[in-house]
Amino acid sequence: MFDWFGQLDMNTQADLWVIAVGAMTNTACALLGCYLVLRRMSMLGDAISHAVLPGLVVAFVLSGSLNIFYMFLGALVVGLLTTVLTETIHRQGSVPADSSMGVVFTSLFALGVILIKRYGETVDLDPDCVLNGLLEMVDFNLVVIGGYELPRAMMAIGPVLAINVLFIVVFWKELLVSSFDPALADTLGIKATLMHYLLMALVALTTVASFEQVGSILVVAMLIVPGATAYLLCDRLKTMLWISAGLACASAVLGHLAAVWLNTNTAGTMAVVVGLFYLTAVFLSPRHGIVVALVRRLRHSVRIVCEDLLGMLYRLEELAAGRRMEPREAVQAVGGRMAGRLGLWSLRRAKQVERVTGGLQLTDDGRHRARGLVRSHRLWEAYLVQFLGLPLDHVHEPAERMEHYIDAQLQQQLAANLDETALDPHGRKIPLKPPADGD
């Protein structure tokens, strides 16, 4: 027994079994879910997890019992049938893949709901159990294995998890190639279609093994969300599999603790937790996160503004020696935005611009950088006029945008094709190449 935040009072053994079964189920789903995400087939996992419902009901009705063998057989058959029907409608009927999935799984799921309502009392099948599962009750259904009492659910999902791991290890190369480029897989002699159906068979098997204890909600979540979260966090398949498995286990632990604390359904809470993981990755992913993208855009905007300020101060020195601009005037000249103030602050912090009597002035470092920018601008204007024949009033704006992206190599190529000692199209001197640092 332990107390968590002063409110949780949990039976240690029972809760450990719940977490263990949840972690195994989540991991079994998450590993296959990575391949579904890569193949852009996330909805097919959702389709199978819903479509197996009529298979469960038919198995119960025909067998008259909750025998696990009949349940597996019925649901597995319907799960495979879902895959075959989806592919058949997509290929033979020229129907988009997402539409064929929608037609198949909604029809079969609706049929399953009707069968539950019709025969639910006969087979003692609760619709809520189908959706939410009975993960909290795993400690009440134990079997003796080697002298130890283990949850029957663990005996169902454990072998499936082992099969999934073994399948990924044995067919690693085939799955890797066929997931990213099925055409290349066929060229290399890998039967991409066979790998597809084997993967879908395992998805159906995993769904069936998970259905009774965790319900369809958690199965759908774990087939999609951990893989999608890992996809945002890495660029390698092996890392993606490890991250998705870690998220699956973490959601089992945190989901159950939260469910006990909130006194709610464990499977649903695990699905919420893994959804929060995904939401966090959406915002904070190192490469694809919203926050990172905003920071990247802000840094890009500040860089452009900094260069605009440097170019403006350099041209001002050319036109009127001794003329200075006040900071507010300079910021307004580049748009008066937050980026303008940040840009000026960055330049002063980098000691490329300094405040002197009468306004702002370029330092030696700032003048060196500004000379390169103005050189790129005027070389590009000269190139547009000399080689593309653009009129003078059509070259300034393109050059103003392009100057921020002309590197040293491109600048050298432009200079090699132009007379850089001549004036630019507007009659201004093209600055000579700035001396390298240390020259």
Greater pLDDT, 263 or 161: 161
Greater pLDDT, 67 or 371: 371
Q: Has residue 126 got a pLDDT over 60?
A: no
Strand partners, 145: 148
Position 320 in a domain? yes
Position 411 in a domain? no
Query: What whole-number distance in Å separates Cα of residue 90 and Cα of residue 82?
Result: 12
Total domains in the chain come to 2
CA distances 36 to 102, 251, 327, Å, are: 16, 20, 55
Q: What is the percentage of the chain residues whose pLDDT exceeds 70?
A: 88
- 176/212 same-domain check: yes
Over residues 93-113, the mean pLDDT reads 79
Q: Has residue 86 got a pLDDT over 60?
A: yes
- 128/249 same-domain check: yes
3 state SS of 324: coil
What's the CATH number where 303 sits?
1.10.10
- 69/121 same-domain check: yes
- 271/302 same-domain check: no
Position 97 in a domain? yes
- 101/40 same-domain check: yes
Give the model's pLDDT for residue 266: 83
Q: Is the pTM of the predicted complex or chain greater than 0.85?
A: no
Question: 66-70, 315-319, 420-424: which range is least confident on average?
Answer: 66-70
Of 300, 329, 362, which residue is a domain's last? 362
Q: Has residue 267 got a pLDDT over 60?
A: yes
Position 183 in a domain? yes
Which band of pLDDT confidence, cut at 50, 70 and 90, is reported for residue 47? confident
Q: Has residue 274 got a pLDDT over 50?
A: yes
Give the model's pLDDT for residue 32: 92
3 state SS of 359: strand
Helix runs in 64-137, H state only: 68-92, 97-123, 127-132
Give the model's pLDDT for residue 41: 79
Position 74 in a domain? yes
Over residues 407-433, the mean pLDDT reads 83
Strands 359-362 and 3-4: unpaired
- 60/192 same-domain check: yes
- 84/178 same-domain check: yes
What's the CATH number where 99 sits?
1.10.3470.10
Report pLDDT digits (tens) over 324-381. 888 888 888 887 677 788 888 999 899 999 988 878 889 999 989 999 999 999 999 9
- 207/321 same-domain check: no
Ramachandran bin of 104, using left for φ above 0, alpha for ψ from -120 to 50, beta for the remaining angles: alpha
CA distances 12 to 27, 143, 150, 264, Å, are: 22, 19, 15, 18
Q: What is the percentage of the chain residues whose pLDDT exceeds 90?
A: 20
- 225/99 same-domain check: yes
Domain span at residue 302 reads 292-362
Give the model's pLDDT for residue 171: 92
Position 36 in a domain? yes
Of 241, 262, 283, which residue is a domain's last? 283
Q: What mean pLDDT, rounded, does the chain reach? A: 82
Give the model's pLDDT for residue 67: 66
- 225/314 same-domain check: no
Greater pLDDT, 16 or 70: 16
- 310/278 same-domain check: no
Question: 19-33, 91-105, 150-164, 246-260: which range is least confident on average?
Answer: 91-105
Position 413 in a domain? no
Give the model's pLDDT for residue 4: 44
- 206/275 same-domain check: yes
Q: Has residue 438 got a pLDDT over 50?
A: no
Angle at 55 between CA 50 and CA 57, to 5 degrees: 100
Report pLDDT digits (tens) over 245-264. 999 999 999 998 888 888 88
How many of the other CB atoms lie within 10 Å of CB of 151?
24
Of 307, 339, 362, which residue is a domain's last? 362
Position 145 in a domain? yes
Query: What whole-number distance in Å separates Cα of residue 132 and Cα of residue 213?
Result: 8
